[in-house]
Structure formats: structure tokens, C-alpha cells
Structure 1
Amino acid sequence: MTSDVKESFSGDSPPAPAALAAKVRTLAPSMTRSMQLVAEAVAGDPAGRAALTVTGLAERTGTSEATVVRTARLLGYPGYRDLRLALAGLAAHQESGRAPAVTADIAVDDPIADVVAKLAYDEQQTLADTAAGLDTVQLGAAVAAASTARRIDVYGVGASSLVGQDLAQKLLRIGLIAHAHTDPHLAVTNAVQLRSGDVAIAITHSGSTGDVIEPLRVAFDRGATTIAITGRPDGPVSQYADHVLTTSTARESELRPAAMSSRTSQLLVVDCLFIGVAQRTYETAAPALSASYEALAHRHTPRAR
């Protein structure tokens, strides 16, 4: 299924120039070292690389023309000519001042105002990257499955478990039966009870978290519709996913663990999934949500004596 995931991620048409940098960041870990050199070169200096022929870029990166063409195709372009056009567009976009290429890492002695500014920019970039790389066809299929599910199980550990709990409680408030499992043993024993018509959702940024993959595998074998929310669409988790929703690759630094960036992108995908389900089930979702608000309001209102 890995190759299918890559093909679906690339899409049927070339990505917009603004999405190129996001795709490079997301796909780079799955590339060969020579392809990474090409991808990093075009993302780092789109204006300079747009002026190079395929031979020139191969020479500049110490690779071959075939590697340059393969990299262009993996990024979603029919050939290098189309990639050059996208690079020119990306360069123009950056020169307009709307898209700085990178943000500096947070330093130990940074003033708190700089920390706020850097984190805010990085969060915005993470969200933009995730939105640019999210396959809306896959998202639509996941929404359709969850909207009619008898039961929805969500698996996640660590920071991803927080995202899983957020999704489950949202779905519960619109009247769906949803449970978030953080204990790997309970996750597997619950997955055994799933069947066709149920949905299992695995959240793992690395795509290789065993405690998340195993219950998803069990759910897949039992006939449930399976969904993976991951930063590595080519990772092991995708082998057992009917639908893959890709998040932005986290930019880790000494003072900012990868879990912080990955959680931001995961929450965006979870919100998109939830809103899609709420739209499709609006006739039942709206009253259920109102009832939950009313119940909470009464709980927080002091009772008269």
C-alpha cells in the first residue's frame, strides 16, 4: 500500500507553487539521499534553481539527470519543466514578502517576545503546510465512513493520545459512539470487537508507533474502515489504512520537541474531519451538540435551595 499512498499523495495534477515547500518537507524522509539533495536544493533556493536546466541542477547537486526527473515526479510534476515553472512561481511568492522560507530556531537567551513571534510563525507554517498537503479526496472518504459508523475507535499514545481524546470527545458531543484508547492492551482488545461498518482511527506522526499500528491492524483484519493520521504517508501504519490523512513534517529543535509541531498539524486534520462529519450528520448533530451545551450549563449553574 506504500506505493499507492505515494501516488495518492502526489495527486493527479501538479501541486501549486505554494505547496511545493510543504511537499518537500513531508516527502524528504522517504527519499533516497540523492533525491533529498535535489529536493532540498529546489526548496531552499527556488529562484536560483528555476534558472537551471535539468543538467545544471544535476551538476549543482552532484546527482544525475535521472535523479532530478524522478524527484520532480515524486513531488507531483510530470517532468522537470513543470517543476521549474513551479519554482519560478514559488520564488515570486516568497519575494512578495508573504512567505518567508524559514524561521530561526528558538535560542536559550531569546527574549520572550521573540519566542512568541517565532512560535506563532512556526505554528502558522505548520498549519499552512498541512493544509497544502492534505488530500481532500481521502478526507472526504474518511468523513463519509465516520458519519455512518456504528462505532469509532481512536488510537494514539503520547502527544497523539491528546489529539485522539480531543477527536473522540468532539464526536461524542454530536451523538456518535466514539472512544479514544491510550492503553495499547485495551486498544487491541477493543479492536477485536470491531467489524464492517465500524471505523478505527490511528494517530501517529512517525507512522511507525507499534502501540498504534497493532490495534489498527486488528481493526483492519476485522473489516472495519481504517484511517491513519500521520506525518509519514509511506510509514508502516499506512499498510493497514484504507484512508491516509497526511500531516506536516514537524520541525524539531532543542527547545521545541517534534511533538509540539506534530500536535498542531494533527489537531487541524482532526478538526477538518470533525467538521466534515458534523456537516453530514447535521440533523442529528446540531440537537446533540445543543443538548450537551445545555447539560454543561445546568451543571455549572448553582442549584436553588
Structure 2
Amino acid sequence: MSANVLSSVREALPRLSSSEARVAEAIIAEPTLVVDLTITELAAVCGTSLSTVARFCQTLGYSGYREFRMEVASAVSREAAERDRFGLANADIDPDDSAADVIAKIAFHEVLAIEQTAEGLDTTVLDAVVDAIVAGAHVDLYGFGSSGLTAQDLQQKLARIGISAFCSVDVHLALVSAALRRPGDVAIGISHSGLTAETNHALEVAREAGATTVAITNSPESPVAEAADFVLTTHARESSYRMGAMSSRIAQLAVVDFLFVRVAQRRGDAVAEPLQRTFEVTARHRVPQRRKQA
């Protein structure tokens, strides 16, 4: 079960029945319904039965509606406190918001995505991925669209400490590289939705070739996650003005940083030389600063 109950509701959607999904969608749209309504009232609002609501709660790992309701109340309270910290009455961006409002709301969503991702990340899985990278000969990274930026960021970080890593936004090149993986290699697919066909295909090809496969996704029940031996889950919320696309990238980059620092820790002194060498060779391409005249 996710560290945040509202994240658990979103993640559960793909495996819910149609009647349970109506309950989930109502709660995602307005979490305070659970706080304000009895199980009978919530069932009526969702156009379903008491047994469906109870079954929905149990699907998420709760003993019943009472336990689920307490968890939702706690989550709603924590989020309200976060909004207060940013001086927000609500977190959705409106067309008539000022620049200051937009900045505060985007900052709120991005901070929330990082905090919930960090809170919900399985450190045992994280370290298992780190072990595979450190012990492996090569790392492939697959990501397309905004997730491609995250894949390129991790490729650059790993390359800077001397780890063989490949990333291409060309799906044909990604598939060619995936097909050439072998046991001991690691293949990491990054997809917010977990539904990106190109990422899923590349991961499946790499797995068939014998690589250890990893998914970084917001949807642990998705096809991309199913193609992975290890899943690192982000927690970024969809909203208006493509907020999901923005906060998802921030959450992904946070996971990349967690992963990279753990790899660097594990490699110890071996990272110092390649970092220094890559710093020196790129330093030649920096524009020299002009000294101010007295």
C-alpha cells in the first residue's frame, strides 16, 4: 500500500471493477467526500452499493470504511496544511490567477510530488536497482516525450562517473540497443503513465535479451511496470494546465537523484577520478568571466 492513501486510490484505478472505479474517481475529484459522508451517503453519491464501497476499501488494503476514512481525513488535513504553507485557498490553477498565484500553485504541486515520492519510495527496491547498476556492465535508458528528458539526465549522470550508459529518443536506436543487452546489463524504462508503447516495447526486448529491467512510473499496475523486474514509483498528481506533465518530471528527477547518489556512494572513491576528468574536459567550453574594473 502506498504511503499516501490518495496516491493509493489513483494507483488502484487500473485494477478496479467499474463500480469500484466510480468510487475511486469520486474520491480523486473530491477527497473531502470521504471525510464528510457516511458509507451509505458515499455509496449513494457514487451510484453504487455499500458492499462495493466496503470492497473498494479492502482492495486498497484497509479493514473497512472506518479505517479508510481516518486515513483520508489525515491526508486531507496534511494537504490543507501544505496549502496554508504556500498561502493557497485551493491548488488548482484558474484562468484569472495572477503570476504570483501561478508560481505558488506550481511550487505547491512540485514540492508535494517530491515529498510524496520520497515518502512512498521502497528503499529496498531502490537499493536492489543500485546493486544491479553497480554490478552490471551497461545501463540502457528508455524514455520518450517529457520522460525522455529524465532518461537523458540519468544517462549523463551515470556517464560522468564512468558507468557505460546509453539513451536515445529515437525508438529504433533504443530497440536496437535493447536487443543487444545481455545478462548482467540493466535496462531502465521511464514513463509517467506506464502506458508509453515505445518504452514498454524496449523494456520487453531488453528483458528477453536477459537484462535486469527497471520501471520508473507513476502507475505501478501499468504495462511498463509489468515489463520490469523492479518498479520505482513516483507520486505526481494530474491537474489542469498539464500540471501532471510538469510535476511528473520533477518526481522522476527526484528518483533519478536518489538512484544516482546511492550508486555514487556504493562506488566510493572510484567516482572521484571520472568526475574530475569530465569536469576538466568540459571546463574548456565555458566562457571566461570578465573581471570587473575597479
Structure 2 length normalisation: TM-score?
0.84
Percent sequence identity over aligned pairs: 43
After superposition, residues 1-305 of structure 1 pair within 5 angstroms as: 10=1, 15=3, 19-28=4-13, 30-41=15-26, 49-50=34-35, 54-55=39-40, 57-94=42-79, 97-99=81-83, 103-107=91-95, 109-253=96-240, 255-256=241-242, 258-300=244-286
> Any unmatched runs of 5+ in structure 2?
289-294
Amino acid at match of 1:286: A
> Which deviates further from its counterpart, 279-288 or 85-94?
85-94
CA distance in 1, matches of 2:199, 2:224: 8
> Which deviates further from its counterpart, 48-57 or 224-233?
48-57
Instruction: Note the C-alpha offset of 1:224.
Output: 0.5
Verify the 8 A CA contact 2:93 2:102 in the aligned structure 1: no
Verify the 8 A CA contact 1:202 1:212 in the aligned structure 2: yes
Secondary structure of the residue aligned to 1:227 is strand
Amino acid at match of 1:32: S
CA distance in 1, matches of 2:174, 2:266: 27
Secondary structure of the residue aligned to 1:77 is coil
Verify the 8 A CA contact 1:250 1:261 in the aligned structure 2: yes
> Any unmatched runs of 5+ in structure 1?
1-9
For residues 208-260 of structure 1, the C-alpha deviation after alignment (integer angstroms, 9 at most, x for no partner) is 2121111211110111100011122211112220011122244242x336432
Structure 1 length normalisation: TM-score?
0.81
CA distance in 2, matches of 1:260, 1:86: 27
CA distance in 1, matches of 2:169, 2:44: 49
> Which deviates further from its counterpart, 264-273 or 286-295?
286-295
Verify the 8 A CA contact 1:160 1:263 in the aligned structure 2: yes
Verify the 8 A CA contact 1:22 1:130 in the aligned structure 2: no
